[in-house]
Amino acid sequence: MNKVRYFGLVAITTFIMGLAFPVGKIALRYAPPFFMMSIRFVFAGILLALIVRLLGKRQPRGGRQWLQAAVIGLVQSGAVMGCAYYSMRWITSGESAIITCSNPLIVIVLGTLFGGATYRALQWLGVAVGLAGVAFAFGFQLGFQPGTFIGLGGAFSFAVATLLIKRWGPGFDMTVLAAYQMLAGGLGLLALSLITEQPRFTFSTSSVLVTLWLSLICSILQFALWFYLLRTGDPAKTSSFLFLVPVFGVLSSWLLLGEQVHWYVGVGGAFICAGIVLVNREPRKREAAAALSA
């Protein structure tokens, strides 16, 4: 893929992901977390599934592919977003964003242990620098409480989903996969809501607009772009850009919710950019030749 196009799509996708945090916080005024997320993903999944059928996109073939789409959905849409929003009962949306977006480090660890991937020391350093930047951007104010561990569960789920999409994704049309995984994740969240919550939804112009934004932009558009990027690029390199999500989340929270932005966000952003550069830096020709001859 052309680099300009790749980085442009990454910027759009991570901005939408970051924007989902303050918009999601607004949405929780109208419904409990699991029920709101189930509405978001079931509506988005059904709508996108109808669109891809009308366009004649290749549907999953056989029970195995349907099962793969369902597993990805339960992990990606269900576990990741369920953990992220449920964790906000104990921690702030910023802290939830920090923890959820520690996913790149977990991707590299899991990819090394189970995927046979090999990453250079410079990439590991880039992940560490990026993590430090995210923590710095939020003033190192993370605490260890139930929400912290729930958020870590979401980050682990995000990493697992990233690797599953990279492994199973080539067998799917990615737009079709995005549709059915959202539907599966939404149904899983609906079942969880019926068990643990008292489902309710307050109808108003604001609640409908927020739900539509979450469904159309933060679900359909976001997942379609993200799955496309994971399939066409290295999952660890692509995931490294998730460090931008909390920064976009802070800026959009400032614009939409009036939350204060501190000076250390800028410093943290510089570290984040440095980490992304390190993770995505290609080895010099001399280094690559030496590695091949070794």
Instruction: Summarize the confidence of residues 84-102 as an average pLDDT.
Output: 75
For residue range 221-259, list pLDDT tens digits in order: 988 888 788 777 777 677 778 778 877 887 887 888 776
16: left (phi over 0), alpha (psi -120 to 50) or beta: alpha
Does the predicted model carry a pTM greater than 0.85?
no
Residue with tokens 């999409």: 165
The letter for the amino acid at 83 is: C
The percent of residues in the chain predicted with pLDDT above 70, rounded, is 87
For residue range 176-190, list pLDDT tens digits in order: 998 999 999 999 999
In this prediction, residue 236 carries a pLDDT of 67
Instruction: Give the pLDDT band of residue 60 (cuts 50, 70, 90).
Output: very high
The Cα angle at residue 155 between residues 149 and 158, in degrees rounded to 5: 145
Residue with tokens 């927020």: 210
Find, among 255, 250, 229, 251, the residue nearest to 240 by Cα: 229
Distance CA 278, CA 90 (A): 33
Q: By 3-state DSSP, what share of the chain in percent is helix, strand and coil, each rounded to 5?
A: 80, 0, 20
Strand intervals (E) in the chain: none
Say yes or no to pLDDT of 142 above 70: no
Round the average pLDDT of the chain to a whole number and report it.
82
61 by Cβ neighbours in 10 Å (0-12 / 13-18 / 19+) ranks as exposed
In total, the chain counts a number of residues equal to 294
Find, among 106, 69, 100, 77, the residue nearest to 235 by Cα: 106
> Cβ contacts of residue 82 below 8 Å, gap of 6+?
33, 34, 37, 154, 188, 189, 192
Kindly write down the DSSP assignment for every residue of 13-75, as one continuous string: HHHHHHHHHHHHHHHTTTS-HHHHHHHHHHHHHHHHHHHHHHTTPPPP-HHHHHHHHHHHHII
Instruction: Give the pLDDT band of residue 144 (cuts 50, 70, 90).
Output: low
The Cα angle at residue 135 between residues 131 and 137, in degrees rounded to 5: 115
In this prediction, residue 70 carries a pLDDT of 95
Find, among 88, 104, 107, the residue nearest to 37 by Cα: 88
Tokens standing for 33? 């977390």
Distance CA 106, CA 271 (A): 19
In this prediction, residue 293 carries a pLDDT of 42
Distance CA 211, CA 59 (A): 27
3-state secondary structure of 137: helix
Distance CA 166, CA 111 (A): 11
